[in-house]
A and B are shown apart, each in its own frame.
Chain A
Amino acid sequence: AQKITQTQPGMFVQEKEAVTLDCTYDTSDPSYGLFWYKQPSSGEMIFLIYQGSYDQQNATEGRYSLNFQKARKSANLVISASQLGDSAMYFCAMREGKGYSTLTFGKGTMLLVSP
């Protein structure tokens, strides 16, 4: 079974609108962390947001927020007020266990923001 599932290969959104990128995960470890990274066409991986399994509140970083639903094992990324520069691949990733930081990545979602 895949540990990280991103079911949307591509998403379109208009500038200034909000968009949700889906991510579900599978782990039996009670301690884990969930990450979202953005990869523009240049290839660099840009860290966006982190959610720990024990965090009580959903993580937020500027226009990015993580809709963490532990019972459903989902960690969707919400981008508010989309900008043209948000067009990129977005990867959800998980780290399992404490103090062991290997990441498992999903297949990614390509987001295209139109004017």
Chain B
Amino acid sequence: GAVVSQHPSWVICKSGTSVKIECRSLDFQATTMFWYRQFPKQSLMLMATSNEGSKATYEQGVEKDKFLINHASLTLSTLTVTSAHPEDSSFYICSATINQETQYFGPGTRLLVL
């Protein structure tokens, strides 16, 4: 099946620092990748849709200057949380799609901002 990896799986950082999370499709080329955020005991909320070689499309209420997304190749998308604050602490999970139908998810990244 399609495999998506994320790195790192865990990150703890100080308030004000920036954190980069990588999402890779390991055995397929993904024209579209998605970034979600999930708070404890809640569902996944889509943050942005990322297409290779173009600017990401952000969902309403998501600050594009705070959550920088780069989709440099068909197998890699990165999410950078700039000037992270404690309220940014969450579970960030990416997904990638092969055929515009099924999304395959990465294992997620738990971010804790102190």
Contact = CB atoms under 8 A, between A and B. Distances in A.
Interface of A: 33, 35, 37, 42-47, 50, 52, 91, 95, 99-108
Interface residues of B, number: 22
Secondary structure dominating the interface of B = strand
A43 B100 contact: no
Contact of B100 (A47, A101, A108): A101
A105 B105 contact: no
B60 interface: no
Nearest to A92: B43
A43 B107 contact: yes
A42 B107 contact: yes
A95 B102 CA distance: 9
Contact of B42 (A47, A50, A52, A107): A107
B78 interface: no
A37 B34 CA distance: 16
B75 interface: no
